[in-house]
Amino acid sequence: TLSDRITDSFKNLKGKGRLTDADIDTTIGEIRRALLDADVALPAVRAFTSQVREKARGAELSAALNPGQQIIKIVNDELIQILGGSTRELHFAKSGPTVIMLAGLQGAGKTTLAGKLGKWLREAGHTPLLVASDLQRPNAVMQLQVIGEQAGVPVWAPEPGNGVGNPVEVARSGLATAKSRLHDVVIVDTAGRLGVDEEMMQQAIDIRDAVNPDEILFVLDAMIGQDAVHTAEAFRDGVGFTGVVLSKLDGDARGGAALSVRTVTGVPVLFASTGEKLGDFERFHADRMASRILDMGDVLTLIEQAEKAFDEGEVEKMAEKLGRGEFTLDDFLKQLGQLRRMGSMKKMLGMLPGMGQLRDQLDNFDDREVDRIEAIVRSMTPAERANVKILNGSRRSRIARGSGTTVTEVNGLVERFLQAKTMMESMARGGPSMGGVPGMG
């Protein structure tokens, strides 16, 4: 995976502490390959990597992350931003029914989406009407009727007298019906072809002009890979669209189409379709898509957690104290709190290179343990916390009573604290580096 490759390329750079052009180039090479693997189109890959290079060059160095992690973070942040940051809402009409028109190639998932969107809107309190303006395939109307029934949403289908054989008339009469029956949203399903052709595009344009949509959603099969760009361009230049829906994200596709389409058209992705069932549908999340495209969710989680728990000022103070041999139980407690915020210790240590030694020592570390340690330390007086040497037998049994633990547990904690203190003080004097874990760098 990308994360392995990047971790590997930075094995020898640990502790170097600054991003060089060579670091950036190494990582960008890997990112480029990952994006191409994810089926991002070449122009989009180029635009993206050059943007990342700029950002990485000007980046402030982070004490929490090694160079590889830092570039990954920049890549991830940039990708999220390009994919659209937080999700845009559907635009609703100020008065009268909101018209949502669906466009896209045959098989992209338009008709299925009509049902998904209809159900989703109905559950949000709207009263949608589905309009069957795909008269191209023999079963298209029937398919929408079946889906509408499943979704609990009425379907406007052509009948003698209201536009049989004329998709534009069906759309027009559907909208008129929605107005008279007080539906607040109209979803117009349209025909697609396997490839883009002029006749189909003209039909879409005619439907568009007949109903004046508030949103035209371009439905794109995430599996079509590199072709996404050409198809998106054809629809942009033809009927045009205001939003993108990525379908079939339940498949293997890593979703590079999202980045391609966004880069080429600038139009945001609004929804993601993730299966054949009507419930397999969600708002598009740029951050999830970024992890999917980069195929490195684990590293990103780690980076996020490290950053959250990391407080540079604290770490500096801690390092000074360690150097002077002044590390106290209060400091220990603070550190445990930070470690706890980093989530599952073992998982985290497994993700960090070179942490095997510490991982073994902390193998028995769990959250309840931290709760107990916290209770014990909180039952100590400030003088005791500052200097464990004064903890005689009667103090220890008072602390055990106060914290609801036993003297044995108090003794265990004191012992472990002294061990940790020795270990960390020796590291602070230049022992093995623990870069990456807060307070241990």
Distance, C-alpha 276 to centroid of its chain? 22
Tokens of 40: 């991002």
Residue 304 interacts, among ligand GDP, Mg ion, none and using kind-specific CB cut-offs from 5 to 8 Å, with none
Sign of CA dihedral 377, 380, 382, 387: negative
Of 253 and 315, which CB lies nearer to ligand GDP in the complex structure?
A: 253
Sheet holding 185-190, edge to edge: 155-156, 128-133, 185-190, 98-103, 215-221, 243-247, 269-273, 281-283
Segment 55-114, which members bind ligand GDP (CB under 6 A)? 104, 106-112
- Which part of the chain contacts Mg ion (CB under 5 A), choosing from 105-113, 251-259, 348-356, 393-401? 105-113
Nearest residue to Mg ion, by Cβ distance, number only? 111
Query: Does residue 274 interact with ligand GDP by CB under 6 A?
Result: yes
Pairing relationship of beta strands 281-283 and 269-273 according to DSSP bridges: antiparallel
Q: Is 408 exposed, middle or buried (0-12, 13-18, 19+ CB in 10 A)?
A: exposed
- What are the two backbone dihedrals, phi and then psi, of residue 164, each rounded to the nearest 5 degrees? -55, 130
Pairing relationship of beta strands 185-190 and 243-247 according to DSSP bridges: unpaired
- Residue 140 CB, shortest distance to Mg ion, in Å, is 5
Of positions 3, 49, 70, 111, contacts Mg ion by CB under 5 A: 111
- Which part of the chain contacts ligand GDP (CB under 6 A), choosing from 88-96, 246-254, 300-308, 431-439? 246-254
Q: Is the distance from CB of 385 to CB of 330 less than 8 angstroms?
A: yes
Q: Is the distance from CB of 45 to CB of 54 less than 8 angstroms?
A: no
Q: In a 3-state reduction of DSSP, which class is residue 190? A: strand
Segment 324-383, which members bind Mg ion (CB under 5 A)? none
Distance, C-alpha 409 to centroid of its chain? 42
- 370: CB partners within 8 A, 6+ apart: 336, 337, 339, 340
- Which part of the chain contacts Mg ion (CB under 5 A), choosing from 107-115, 173-181, 343-351, 359-367? 107-115
Tokens of 70: 């830092």
Of positions 231, 247, 328, 335, contacts ligand GDP by CB under 6 A: 247
Of positions 29, 225, 240, 275, contacts ligand GDP by CB under 6 A: 275
- Residue 91 CB, shortest distance to ligand GDP, in Å, is 22
- Residue 19 CB, shortest distance to ligand GDP, in Å, is 40
Tokens of 382: 């400030």
Of 219 and 399, which CB lies nearer to ligand GDP in the complex structure?
A: 219
- Residue 410 CB, shortest distance to ligand GDP, in Å, is 58
- Residue 116 CB, shortest distance to ligand GDP, in Å, is 8
> How many whole angstroms separate alpha carbon 253 and alpha carbon 256?
8
Of positions 84, 158, 163, 192, contacts ligand GDP by CB under 6 A: 192
Q: In a 3-state reduction of DSSP, which class is residue 215? A: strand
Q: In a 3-state reduction of DSSP, which class is residue 318? A: helix
- Which part of the chain contacts Mg ion (CB under 5 A), choosing from 56-64, 106-114, 230-238, 379-387? 106-114
- Residue 264 CB, shortest distance to ligand GDP, in Å, is 21
Total residues interacting with ligand GDP, rule: CB under 6 A: 18
What mask, x for binding ligand GDP by CB under 6 A, covers residues 206 to 225? -------------x------
- Residue 142 CB, shortest distance to Mg ion, in Å, is 11
Binding stretches for Mg ion (CB under 5 A): 110-111
Chain positions contacting ligand GDP, by CB under 6 A: 104, 106-112, 192, 219, 247-248, 250, 273-276, 280
